[in-house]
Structure 1
Amino acid sequence: MSRVLHALLHLAEMDHPATSQLIAQMLQTNSAVVRRTMAGLREAGIVTSVKGHGGGWTLQRPLDDVTLLDIYRALGEPLLFAIGIDSEQTTCVLARAANAATSAALQKAQSEFEKSLAGTTVSQIGQVLESRQGGH
């Protein structure tokens, strides 16, 4: 997610479309990864793309209209935690109680995480950086 935010902040500063190759260089990855990732953002209406010479990726919406939750959802809501419940098919009462407690805690954490993301726009990230640096 931080790499996507990084790319979006760069796109906001550019006055021309950025190719997948250029974004890949910025993010130190390959252009196929960029195209797959940006496709989700395009489907969410965050970026747009133009094919061919002079084409590339541009912002479709201003970053002050894009929350971190929008980005998270556009990326397919990747799992936050590598922990989970034991077998859902268990017949053991104690295992079911442990599963219920774990599931409840994970749901609460997910909800708080999404609430935090919803309260921050991508442009606010850039503003924090600018205030720390006194500009660009």
Structure 2
Amino acid sequence: MKRDSRLSSVLHALLHMAEHDGPMTSEALGQCLGANPVVVRRTMGLLREAGLVSAERGHAGGWRISADLKTVNLRQLHAALGEPAIFAIGNRNETPECLVEQAVNAALDKAFLEAEALLLDRFADVTLADLAADFARRHAERRATRE
């Protein structure tokens, strides 16, 4: 099963946008992400619907963060993306006749729900400002080692 990397891509794009003065085009964001601008527009459209980014038309237009980095957390972004599946693993059959498979599903479902709840709680604790600060620290360290 293919992994859904949209959350990672959105975080990457938003951090580029946070460092950039002015709006960024879908083409520029696509270059940063190694993605097609159409995919960028589709994904940014979901964030616009959630009130996290805005789009400006025209020659100097593009996407701009419209929310405070300190208040936007990973859980909100996950929700804005339609709450994609957290895990790529699952039950072999969702409605089995076999009692053994029913017992297996019950155990797996409970574990998946508990793990997902923990992860989503952790997502709620991490803001875009946290990620931007980590990026700034890493960037400063890299600059210092090159000098």
Per-residue CA shift, 1:19-63, capped at 9, x if unaligned?
Answer: 101111111111001001111111111101122221110011011
- Which residue of 1 is the match for residue 67 of structure 2? 61
Letter in 2 for 1:27: L
> After superposition, where does 1:76-87 map in structure 2 within 5 Å?
76-87=82-93
Structure 1: state its 5+ residue gaps.
none
The alpha-carbon deviation at position 8 of structure 1 amounts to 0.6
Where in structure 2 are the equivalents of 1:25-104 lying within 5 Å? 25-104=31-110
Percent identity, please.
Answer: 42
Gaps of 5+ in 2: 1-6
List structure 1 segments (4+ residues) > 3 angstroms apart after TM superposition.
132-136
Coordinate RMSD, CA, aligned: 1.6
Determine helix, strand or coil for the equivalent of 2:67.
coil
TM-score, normalized by length of structure 2?
Answer: 0.85
1:133, distance to aligned residue in structure 2 (A) = 3.7
Cα deviations by residue, 1:95-118 (Å, 9 ceiling, x for unpaired) = 111111010111011101100100
Q: Which amino acid aligns with 1:72?
A: H
Cα deviation, 1:48-86, whole Å, max 9, x if unaligned, reads 112222111001101111001111111111212221123
SS in structure 2 at match of 1:134 = helix
1:23 to 18, 22, 29: 29
**Number of residue pairs matched by the alignment:** 136
CA distance in 1, matches of 2:63, 2:22: 9
TM-score by length of 1: 0.92
1:9 deviation in Å? 1.0
